[in-house]
Structures are given as C-alpha cells and as structure tokens.
Amino acid sequence: MPHADPVAVHLLRRRQLLKGALAAALPLGSSAAFAASAQDGAPPLAVGGLPVTCNLTLPIACLAKANANARAGLGPAPFVYHKYSGWPEIKESLMTGRIQAAYMLAPLVMDLVNSRIPMKIVSLGHRSGAVIMVRTDSTYRRFRDLRGKAIAVPSRFAVDYLFLRKMLAREGMTLKDVEIIEMNPPDMPAALYAKAVDAYCTGEPFGASAQRAGYARPLAMTRDEWRNYICCVLTVREDVIQTRRPLVQDLVNHIQAAGSWLDQSPANRDKAAGIAGGKAFFNQDPKIIKFVMENPQDRVTYGDLRMIRDEFDELMQLSLEARTLKKPIAYERYVDDSFVKSLQPLKLIL
C-alpha cells in the first residue's frame, strides 16, 4: 500500500479545500513563448490546458506543429501549450487575455457567454474519459452504495458533475443523498487515500493513477454509462477568431489530426504517453497515461471529434437542471463550427 504525502493530506481537509479567494494564476508554461515571434510577426497563441488525459490532443498538436515549423525552417510554432492546475485559474487567464485559447468545460463556456464574455468553442478534444473511483477496500459495489457518502468533483460546471447527477437520477437518488466536495483533480487520489472523501468523479489520469497504485478501483465509467460524453472543448477568444482566423484554423486542424492519430494504433498511444508525460506538457509518469490508454482501450477516445448540436443541447439541458446554467443559450452564440467544417487534413510530424 503506498504512503500518502502528509502535506498533501493536510491540505485536503474536507471543509478547507476551496476556502479563500482563488487569484488568477500566470500560466505555468515557459514565459519565453510570449516573447518569441511567430510566422505572422505576432506572439504565438498561448493555449491553456490541464494535465488530464481528456486534454491529450493538445500537447500532441502543439508538438506536431513545432516539429513541422522546425523542419520547414519557419521559426517558433505559432501556438504553444501552457499547463494549469485548475479550472478557476484557466478561466480567469482566458477571460483576461493571459492566454488566448484553452481547453475548457463546455457548460462553463455556455455560462461565460451568457454573461457576455466573448469566446467560442471551435473543436472537441476527446470523448468519454470520466470515472467514479472508490477505495479498493471499500464495500461499495454499486453506485447506490454511495448514499450518505462524500464525493469529490472538479467543479459544479464540470461535465463530471453532470455524470454524477445522471447516476444519482438512475438510482432514484438526489443531491441530498450525498455530500458534494469541489476539488482540483490532481488532489483527488490523495484525498481518497486519506479517507477525506469516499469517492471522486473526474477525468483521467487521476482515476488511473490511484487504480494503478492499488488503492482504488472504478465504480462507474462514462464509457459504460454515457457513451457520447464530452467535457473538455477547445475554446478561443472571439477577438482572436476575428484577427487571427488562419491561425485558429491551423490549431483546429492539428487538434483534429491529433485525435485521429491517437486512435489509429496502440503504438501511437504509447508514443503520446511519452510526449504528454514530459516536463514541457503534463509532467506526469508516462506509465500512468499509458495505463489509461490500455485499461480498457476505449477508456478515453479521440477519433470522433465531430461537433454535434444535439449533444451540446443535451449538456445545456443537464446544466439547466443542475442550476449551473441560469438560462438557455443558443448553440450559435457559444459554438463556431466553421473551423471543423473547413477542416484541412494533415499528417502529424511526431
């Protein structure tokens, strides 16, 4: 049995997890990227993402573009990856312009646009990839066994939270039957190990890391319960769409190509684990990412990144029911699917 970090455990006390104001954080990526000049003479787009497997297409796309530019002698890549640790920080940085694009929670984008924050979803990043994890030594065998228990979710805007609500409804339960705790995904495995929570619902690899360590197991997976699940979506500020449209198209081309490449073969997924695990991207053990890719192989999928209106409408309706979205919003107000419709297939250089 692994030993939990006592410092991490101390920081994860139940009612102290999100106390205090969350200041907008500077991106964790290299600040030198902002000083570098891209092909069009402007600084490269800073694209934010979390170190979660649902965001795996982003580091693959960024590396492929950097390699293509280097091979062609074109200088630095026009878009670069910046790592964040939580949704509040990435949201604030996108709103203030510290980054120009990001992988965001789809319901959060809907809410921001409803609040007149100008941004648009331009591509999906993945499908499936969320799990509900419990301790290996727990007696929980069915979701209904979590009645009266504490369950961590990344955010009430997260689609993981909507997944949890779907499971509650399926068992005839309500939010009154469980205790919901908001927590950054990287903190969840330690919280479960320390018994600060009884279960957690999040995207990978934070389920797989605890499972691989031996002290946790999946109780439910979106691959089994919600096959058309989408969560993280590529979101771009509208001023960037208006002023640097060819660059946004290039980014979408590379994201979509990365998705197709990832689902082409197990060898590609192995290579992706090595790329994403590096210090320039997730800074994680590649073996954990590889574990996600293999247990089972469709734990997260990337090959079908179509923008389907009905799926977004379902997310909107679920968010309205969850009261994380105050009023309906038209698809066209928060989605710009013209980039996917104008997709230019390409071969990645990795």
- Name all domains of the chain by residue range, CATH numbers in brackets: 6-12+129-225 (3.40.190.10), 32-127+231-341 (3.40.190.10)
3-state SS record for 89-153: HHHHHHHHCCCCEEEEEHHHHHHHHHCCCCEEEEEECCEECEEEEEECCCCCCCHHHHCCCEEEE
Rounded-to-integer distance, Cα 141 and Cα 257, Å: 39
Q: What is the pLDDT of residue 146?
A: 97
Tokens read off for 276? 């994403």
Q: What is the pLDDT of residue 298?
A: 85
Q: What is the pLDDT of residues 249-272, one digit of tens each?
A: 999 999 999 999 999 999 999 999
Nearest CA to 9 out of 135, 188, 205, 133 is that of: 188
Q: What is the pLDDT of residue 17?
A: 34
CA distances from 132 to 8, 103, 221, 282 (A): 21, 22, 6, 22
Identify whether the C-beta of residue 299 lies closer than 8 Å to the C-beta of residue 128: yes
| DSSP β-bridge partners for residue 236 | 101, 120
Q: What is the pLDDT of residue 86?
A: 82
Q: What is the pLDDT of residue 9?
A: 33
Burial of 346 (0-12, 13-18, 19+ CB in 10 A): middle
Rounded-to-integer distance, Cα 24 and Cα 2, Å: 33
Q: What is the pLDDT of residue 156?
A: 84
Q: What is the pLDDT of residue 34?
A: 33
CB burial string 201-231: b at 16+ within 10 A, e below: bbbbbbbbbbbbeebbbbbbbbbebbeebbb
Q: Which residues of the chain have pLDDT under 70?
A: 1-41
Q: What is the pLDDT of residues 82-130, one digit of tens each?
A: 999 888 899 999 999 999 999 999 999 999 999 999 999 999 999 888 8
Which residues touch 19 (CB under 8 Å, ≥6 apart)? none
Q: What is the pLDDT of residue 79?
A: 95
List, in sequence order, every beta strand (DSSP E) within the chain: 45-49, 79-83, 101-105, 119-124, 127-128, 130-135, 150-153, 179-182, 199-203, 216-221, 232-237, 300-301
Beta carbons within 10 angstroms of residue 95's beta carbon: 16
Rounded-to-integer distance, Cα 44 and Cα 79, Å: 5
Nearest CA to 252 out of 312, 174, 337, 326 is that of: 337
